[in-house]
Amino acid sequence: MDDRVAMIRHLIEGEPPPPDNGAGLLPRVCAVAARTLAASGAGISMMSEAGARGVYAASDPLTEHIEELQFVLGEGPCWDAFSTRRPVLVPNLDGESAARWPMYTPAAHDSGIRAVFSFPLQMGAARLGILDIFRQRTGSLTGDELATALAFADVTITALLDQHENAAVNSSGEGLAEAVEYRAELFQAQGMVMVQLGVPIGEAMARMRAYAYAHGRRLDQVAADVLARRLHFDRDRP
């Protein structure tokens, strides 16, 4: 998995922003995912415990429309992947799928989509969103393609958390002294979470970041709650 993740990150670094689809990292993730997995498109949707719902990025305008349909209609593979916390793999968006998603299936069909593969973006118990892969032909993912799609999900999680944290820091207007204090508190909280979960220090930070994203909070707020013992991490919650 590490080799796949490294390969994916290398491809994303060399990917130009999709035309008319923003200059951020996430549209590039979608574009590379679509090309690498021989898909017609890829989309990332935000679906968090805090109730946030919506399309975050897509490889192209048509894919963005197909992704958005799931929220307009209130049904589709992404909803099932989010609720079950498991990938939802639909190699043939027809027949049984029409009974499962009676509104989304014909709408996606009208847009030329014949297969959808939805991967939950989650870390620990924190749910962040969904990565959707769309194809204009029927057929299952090969074992290699499935492993690559799961690696793309891991890369997407990191990109989402980085973007969330950077937005919070950039909007805080903190000076140097405040920034130093922030890092010190963050390190202390990270150590406490490491002990609570019995995990390496890096995973403790990842769990804190995932919790902050999923609950619509800043990382420093989560750290403050950990230090004040208002928030305790365990293997199942949060």
What lies within 8 Å, CB to CB, of 228 at 6+ separation is none
Mean pLDDT of 177-187: 58
pTM of the model: 0.73
Domain with CATH 1.10.10.10 in the chain: 173-227
Residue 229 burial by Cβ neighbours in a 10 Å radius (0-12, 13-18, 19+):
exposed
pLDDT at 88 over 60: yes
Residue whose token pair is 């990025």? 57
CATH 3.30.450.40 fits 2-166, yes or no: yes
pLDDT tens-digit readout, 134-159: 999 999 999 999 999 999 999 999 88
Coil, strand or helix at 61: helix
Answer with the residue of higher pLDDT: 136 or 193: 136
What lies within 8 Å, CB to CB, of 54 at 6+ separation is 45, 46, 68, 71
Distance, in Å, from the CA atom of 53 to the CA atom of 115, rounded to the nearest integer, reads: 23
When mean pLDDT is compared over 54-58, 174-178, 226-230, the highest value belongs to: 226-230
Mean pLDDT of 6-21: 81
Distance, in Å, from the CA atom of 202 to the CA atom of 123, rounded to the nearest integer, reads: 13
Distance, in Å, from the CA atom of 165 to the CA atom of 61, rounded to the nearest integer, reads: 27
Mean pLDDT of 120-136: 91
Strands 53-58 and 88-90: unpaired
Please, which contacts does 140-146 make with residues 24 or more away whose CB atoms are closer than 8 Å?
Answer: 140/89, 140/91, 141/37, 141/89, 141/91, 141/117, 145/37, 145/38, 146/89
Under 8 Å between Cβ of 18 and 26: no
Residue % of the chain over a pLDDT of 70: 84
| pLDDT in the model for residue 164 | 67
pLDDT tens-digit readout, 214-231: 887 878 888 889 999 999
Within 10 angstroms of residue 226's Cβ, the number of other Cβ atoms is 24
**Which class does domain 173-227 fall in?**
mainly alpha
Output the six-digit token pair for 109: 């069909």
Under 8 Å between Cβ of 42 and 63: yes
Domain with CATH 3.30.450.40 in the chain: 2-166
What lies within 8 Å, CB to CB, of 148 at 6+ separation is 4, 8, 36, 37
Output the six-digit token pair for 106: 């014909």
Under 8 Å between Cβ of 31 and 44: no
State CA 83 to chain mean position distance: 14
pLDDT at 102 over 90: yes
Residue whose token pair is 């890096």? 202
State CA 67 to chain mean position distance: 14
Under 8 Å between Cβ of 32 and 57: no
